[in-house]
Structure 1
Amino acid sequence: MTDHPAAAAPRAVASVDDAMAHAVELATRGPSWGPNPRVGCVLLAPSAAGAPERTVLAEGWHRGAGTPHAEAAALAAAREAGVDVRGATAVVTLEPCNHTGRTGPCAVALEQAGVAEVVYAVADPNPVAAGGAEHLASRGVRTELRPTSAATELTHAWATAAAAGRPYVILKTATTLDGRVAAADGSSRWITGPEARTHAHEVRATVDAIAVGTGTVAADDPALTARRPGGGLAAHQPLRVVVGRRDVPPAARLRTEEGGALVHLATHDVTEVLAALAAREVRTLLVEGGPRLATAFLDAGVVDELHAYVAPVLLGAGRGAVGDLGVTTLADAPRWRTHDVRRLGDDVLLTARTHPSPSRPTAQEA
């Protein structure tokens, strides 16, 4: 496999908007984990005498850290196919970067290739890499920010992490209808059914890291692997993070079973945890428990997204999903915005976010 996709066979597209939709589809082929966002790029030929249809010259997407960015991949594909991109329009899901890191700045590459126009859907929130549109405009390249909900959703977690300077935090809970994570005798396997557990493994396979506390390691001895429905390991295994001062036992499954690297952070300080993971280029962190760790992240105000798996089960007693958050009146309770609700077998998954979802209208917009 080469570092960039082959040039697309020339084909007509109805509009720049259709090219953007295709760029989003290209971007989804890249990995959802890692320090870089998923980005797609489509290079369109200049409009012929104002005709509404444009021809695709080349396309590309980012395949992960250390590989060419989407714009560079599309330009390389065009060169490989002998396609002239001078005067072309680059349609990109994210503002071209203006930073030299593992690869060179895409804004400069587009300008030097002779691209006449750049249309992008999301402004780069990363202060280190932002400024690509400004650079292009200063060199006479037309630029246009044309937001789309699909492109914004695609980069939501990465953009939130980049703006905050810390990992995007997803808190997972699996509870009964009355908010219990275990019965009075401590039993907790399994509150949710197989469909919910399969979905939870699918989420694990999309994040950079999973975190649990040392109490959960002692009580449940989890492996913290991402598995396929048949039981085999998924292609991507996130870092397995244990938070707390107690040692991870030598015989723990975290040490004996194959999976992501084990990272033990001997602290109870959420800020220290996030800083340590950010230093490892973790962009998405899935916090799976237990209740003490969940409470710490909630109390610190750093939970960006909730995954609440709820089973139609009632216990009436037992351990709750979270501890005391210091809320004494309903008006002070932290609230999220519902992003999605879906049925998984007999269970329900509620996904909620701290900020309004880019792909769902607010009450005022509806």
Structure 2
Amino acid sequence: MAKIVGYIAASLDGLIAGENDDLDWLYKYDEMDLGEHDYRTFIKGIRTVVMGRGTYDFIASHPAPWAYGEQRVIVVTSRPIEDPKGALEVRADVDHLIAELRALDGGDVWMLGGGMLQMAFMERGALDEIEIYIIPELLGAGRALFPLTGFRSSPELISAKALDKGCVRLHYRLSYTTSAS
């Protein structure tokens, strides 16, 4: 069974993008030494990339080449994607997608991008682990790491590590319990 994971950076004040989805604050850390936690190492273990429509549109709007040629890519959206930037599949039903992903063998699934889709997976007990890279920047406004939906959990800390340029890597395992009523 594939493991479904998150790998995301957030500012010290809990934002993944500044106002107007600005990522300039993050790009200045591109050359940061993450050692064994480097993105290029991480992506080698990923078989399937899942992203929401907002993340896809953001990636597709940039002139850089499609970065996910080695992975299967699934975009969660109810709207058709005209002239896709790269090879991808579209799914509209999160519950069916989770069942499909859970049936995969070999290689992990990466929940790429914003916290809305990650939260939808957490609410369904389907995000297994998450690596959050805390970047020492205070943005003051922007897009939150996770939307406040009322979902509660007590993830288990697997590891915490100080990295280059004041960045901290937090790695959590999520566990889910159901409440008896």
- The TM-score bracket by the shorter chain reads 0.7 to 0.9
Which residues in structure 2 correspond to 1:202-217 (within 5 Å)? 202-217=41-56
Rounded to whole Å, the distance in 2 between the matches of 1:225 and 1:344 is: 26
Q: CA deviation at 1:282?
A: 5.5
Contact 2:74 2:89 in 1 (8 A): yes
Query: Where does residue 178 of structure 2 map in the other structure?
Result: none
Q: CA deviation at 1:336?
A: 1.2
Letter in 1 for 2:83: P
Is 1:273–2:106 an aligned residue pair?
A: no
Q: CA deviation at 1:278?
A: 4.2
Query: Where does residue 14 of structure 1 map in the other structure?
Result: none
Is 1:348–2:172 an aligned residue pair?
A: no
Is 1:325–2:149 an aligned residue pair?
A: yes
Contact 1:299 1:325 in 2 (8 A): no
Question: SS of the residue aligned with 1:296?
Answer: helix
Q: CA deviation at 1:320?
A: 0.3
Rounded to whole Å, the distance in 2 between the matches of 1:296 and 1:215 is: 14
Assess, with a 3 A threshold, how the Cα gap between structure 1 residues 273 and 219 changes in structure 2: closer, same or farther.
Answer: same
Query: Where does residue 9 of structure 2 map in the other structure?
Result: 174
Query: Which of the residues 43, 48, 71 maps onto 1:238?
Result: 71
Rounded to whole Å, the distance in 1 between the matches of 2:104 and 2:154 is: 30
Rounded to whole Å, the distance in 1 between the matches of 2:72 and 2:100 is: 12
Contact 1:214 1:248 in 2 (8 A): no
Q: CA deviation at 1:280?
A: 5.1
Higher relative contact order (CA 8 A, sep 6+): 2
Q: Deviations over 1:279-311 (max 9, x none)?
A: 554652110122221121121121111110110
Show structure 1 runs of 5+ residues with no match. Answer: 1-160, 162-166, 227-236, 256-261, 328-332, 356-366
- Structure with bigger gyration radius: 1
Question: SS of the residue aligned with 2:19?
Answer: coil
Which residues in structure 2 correspond to 1:305-320 (within 5 Å)? 305-320=129-144
Query: Where does residue 264 of structure 1 map in the other structure?
Result: 90
With normalisation by structure 2, the TM-score equals 0.79
Which residues in structure 2 correspond to 1:155-166 (within 5 Å)? 161=1
Q: CA deviation at 1:349?
A: 1.2
Rounded to whole Å, the distance in 1 between the matches of 2:43 and 2:108 is: 10
With normalisation by structure 1, the TM-score equals 0.41
Query: Where does residue 68 of structure 2 map in the other structure?
Result: 225
Rounded to whole Å, the distance in 1 between the matches of 2:106 and 2:74 is: 11
Question: Alignment RMSD, CA only?
Answer: 2.5
Rounded to whole Å, the distance in 2 between the matches of 1:341 and 1:280 is: 29
Q: Matched residue pairs, number?
A: 166
Query: Where does residue 338 of structure 1 map in the other structure?
Result: 157
Contact 2:98 2:126 in 1 (8 A): no
Contact 1:337 1:353 in 2 (8 A): yes
Q: CA deviation at 1:343?
A: 3.1
Query: Where does residue 289 of structure 1 map in the other structure?
Result: 113
Q: Deviations over 1:203-259 (max 9, x none)?
A: 111122111111111123273438xxxxxxxxxx2212211122233152x24xxxx
Q: CA deviation at 1:321?
A: 1.2
Rounded to whole Å, the distance in 1 between the matches of 2:90 and 2:136 is: 35
Query: Where does residue 302 of structure 1 map in the other structure?
Result: 126
Structure 1 moving runs of 4+ over 6 Å = none
Rounded to whole Å, the distance in 1 between the matches of 2:174 and 2:102 is: 20
Contact 2:118 2:127 in 1 (8 A): no
Letter in 2 for 1:315: L
Contact 1:204 1:210 in 2 (8 A): no
Show structure 2 runs of 5+ residues with no match. Answer: 176-181
Name the % identity. 22
Q: CA deviation at 1:177?
A: 0.4
Rounded to whole Å, the distance in 2 between the matches of 1:250 and 1:273 is: 23
